[in-house]
Chain A
Amino acid sequence: DTGVSQDPRHKITKRGQNVTFRCDPISEHNRLYWYRQTLGQGPEFLTYFQNEAQLEKSRLLSDRFSAERPKGSFSTLEIQRTEQGDSAMYLCASSFPTLGVFSYNEQFFGPGTRLTVL
């Protein structure tokens, strides 16, 4: 399977604990994105990387959140001191970069990690 993979698929934790999620993108893709989706809403952008460089972070990404992509391949998203409001589906996507206007290389999504904070 050469799609985007995420691990774990489910995570249940207690409030205040730290959690880390992993994403393995499609190997040829140099862009990697993290989104968060809550019930009844569409995915919301968190951050993205081009190779190992983190190029943009959403204001949703508080200082308790940190993402890395150390070698430009897989990425990790860590949440420190989890809160109940962090409960959501965390989605990872990857793509080629888009060159030029009126075009776009679609993002391919992984299955997500569902986080439940008790």
Chain B
Amino acid sequence: DQQVKQNSPSLSVQEGRISILNCDYTNSMFDYFLWYKKYPAEGPTFLISISSIKDKNEDGRFTVFLNKSAKHLSLHIVPSQPGDSAVYFCAAPETSGSRLTFGEGTQLTVNP
């Protein structure tokens, strides 16, 4: 049972444009969501998070939107830069507040 799902394995955008990465979840008990970025041969790095009591959280070029009724969140990167090229994972902690459940990841490629 895949509780966190990222349906787009890959996304390609031009430098300077907006990148939108999507994530859907099925567990209505999730109350917090995180985005991680992963470069090859490195571990995932925390990027941005959002609590379910909010619908938006912004940090510089990165904004995460949460639509609880649709059980959907998205990560917006504006403007996209070539250094943003990486695999992006959305994740949610289990209700125990411990382990993270990850989506499959989306490979973002930002072309110069």
Contact = CB atoms under 8 A, between A and B. Distances in A.
A109 interface: yes
B69 interface: no
A45 B101 contact: yes
B102 A98 contact: no
B35 to A, nearest CB: 10
A103 interface: yes
Contacts of B49: 104, 106
Interface string B14-43: 000000000000000001101010000111
Interface in B93-112: 93, 96-105
A74 interface: no
Contacts of B43: 4, 91, 93, 109-112
A33 B32 CA distance: 18
A interface bracket (residues with beta carbon within 8 Å of B): 20 to 34
B89 A102 contact: no
Contacts of B8: none
Contact of A106 (B34, B52, B98, B104): B34
A107 B46 CA distance: 8
Interface stretch (A13-21, A35-43, A76-84): A35-43
A91 B99 CA distance: 13
Contacts of A101: 31
Interface in B61-108: 89, 91, 93, 96-105
Given A91-B44, A104-B49, A111-B41, A56 B104 contact: no
B112 to A, nearest CB: 26
Contacts of A106: 34, 46, 49
Interface of A: 4, 31, 33, 35, 40-45, 48, 55-56, 58, 91, 93, 97-98, 101-104, 106-112
Given A43-B89, A48-B99, A102-B31, 4 more contacts: A42-B6, A97-B97, A98-B98, A109-B43
**Which 3 A-B pairs have CB atoms at the shortest separation, nearest pair first?**
A42-B102, A109-B43, A45-B99
